[in-house]
Amino acid sequence: MTSDAVWLRAMLDAEAALARAQGRAGFIPGAAAALIDRVASEFTADLPDLAQRARQAANPVVPLVADLRKAVGARGVAEFVHRGATSQDICDTAAMLVAARAVGLIVADLDAAMDVLAGLAERHRDTLMAARTLGQQAVPTTFGLKAAGWLTGLLRARDRLAALRLPAQLGGAAGTLAALIETAHTASAEPGGGERGQARVLRLVELYAEELGLVAPLAPWHAERSVVGELGAALAGTAGALGKVATDVILMAQTEVGEVAESSRGDSSAMPQKRNPALSVLIRSAALQVPAYAQLLGPAGEHERAAGAWQAEWSPLRECLRLTGGAAETAAELVAGLQVFPDRMRDNACLTGGRIVSERLAVHLGRDALDEALSRPGPLEGPEELLDPEGYLGAAPELVDRLLADYRERRVPSDYRKRSVPGEHRERRVPDDYRK
């Protein structure tokens, strides 16, 4: 999903799309566009060698374009490779392609996890358990409400990701599109292209974005990085929502608690008796890392192109996508195999001998009488109907109903594997090796 090979392919896809768009717009001959497209589609590179040569330009596009021009070979065609673009155009567009493809996979995994959580919330709408605040038993609740809370967090994260409008990047040397407008002047009698040349170039940007399946920006965004910051924030929020599920499962699966268990074996190298919550640990680990990486995305850069700030985004963005993608896929597996033990939940809720409903007793007995009762060891004494934790669930079941209704209203049905992949013109199934 974010490997070096995937990033290389995204840069080549950007170059190929640029050639196709320029061919469609009449900026370069159609035959040249077709040749560049074919060569870029088939091109492979020695990644370590490319990385080594990239040091001389502080980005990989310069040596990649040189290799692509050499690979095109045909006389007079190589000059059309990368025409009117700058390195950041290709790097930023490749980043948006990788992000859009990764986000599609993440959304699919969130959809799968949410379907399972909705079922858990419905089945356990009235399943009694102890709510816990600051790590201690608080008042009764239901496991259905806990699962519905997980569902709501994932739904908000999913909607935020799905709402992202990731743009292509095409601005030329300093974001003015001047080189492309100059090229367009051949079709205009006005020096420098005039209004006709400017309109043709703006149309070219739209065609370029269309070829890639990305959004056409109103203007180049070389130094205006809010889109990258928003992407990072959405990924961090998603990781956090996934981490909430994992953290609760870790605590509920503790030996002394035993309210849920994972499907994973959870092996230990030293203690054969242990069943560690391995899937939850992987998810929580990712959730703790993503916000730190996201802080490095979208920093303010100087003038029309940053010296260092833009380049500093590459690795953190990759990690945000990789970790969030892995957490989402693992969460889908986690909830699909989650074992729930309602009897243990009920037993735990009754551990304190009625103290779990102290809040209720305070209303009926008065605080002074309750404080005196709590000071005595052993179970609380009082009317049986007041001590039953199932009688003090508040609106928990009804809140489950409300959250499920909201989920079903907002849910967009989707095939878990079938995704529309940016950069392609048809619907296809994402190959398993794309997740690597």
Return the active site residues.
Answer: 268, 305
Answer yes or no: are the C-beta atoms of 328 and 116 closer than 8 Å: no
d(CA 382, CA 274): 41
CA atoms within 13 A on the CB side of 346: 9
Q: Is 121 exposed, middle or buried (0-12, 13-18, 19+ CB in 10 A)?
A: buried
Which residues in 281-346 belong to E strands, given as ranges?
339-340
**Are the C-beta atoms of residues 122 and 400 closer than 8 Å to each other?**
yes
Cα separation, 149 vs 241, whole angstroms: 10
- Helices 87-123 and 194-212: angle between axes, nearest 10 degrees: 40
Beta-bridge partners for 128:
142
What is the Cβ-side half-sphere exposure of residue 199, based on CA atoms within 13 angstroms?
6
Closest CA to 320 of 232, 193, 426: 232
Render 394-414 in DSSP notation, one character per residue. Answer: TTHHHHHHHHHHHHHHH----
Q: What is the H or E stretch that residue 130 is in?
A: strand 128-133
Residue with tokens 């009897």: 343
Element (H, E) at 133: strand 128-133
